[in-house]
Structure 1
Amino acid sequence: MSRNEKTISFRAVAEKIEALDSLAAAQERPRSYLINEAIANYIELHTYQDALVRKGLEEMRKGRAVSHEEVVKRLKRTGRARQ
């Protein structure tokens, strides 16, 4: 184990671990590789989503937001509103 790695322990449903082990075997990878990939994907996705939310909140603070009613009105004008 390198210096930048740490060991963690957590509980998971047995069926999920079995499914993970099946995937790992099919890919000829260790379980920890797939867990690290899943963690990396989770962090990337949620970091992206968090940045979008923060940007949206900042736009609202600057008064650059459109109300729901205005969005619906605009969609109706273009014929793209839900019926």
Structure 2
Amino acid sequence: MKVVGVYEAKTNFTELIREVQSGETVTVTKHGHPIAKIAPIFEVQPVENTIAQLKTLRESMRLDGLSVQALREEGRR
């Protein structure tokens, strides 16, 4: 995480934005005290995509005929 003062942030704003676009987080300070944070915004994927990924994961993790309850009981023995 990069730390810059207000004046430096103001004069180099375009360069700071380029760094943020590449994943860097920048903390802006005033008289040595943090006052702001500039961070990248990560896009949120639609719920449907997440559900599809979970279904694919579930399909790839077959229990070979065992139930979750049977596995849980086996773990308690």
Structure with the larger helix share: 1
Normalised to the residue count of structure 1, the TM-score between the two structures is: 0.28
Rg larger for: 2
Normalised to the residue count of structure 2, the TM-score between the two structures is: 0.30
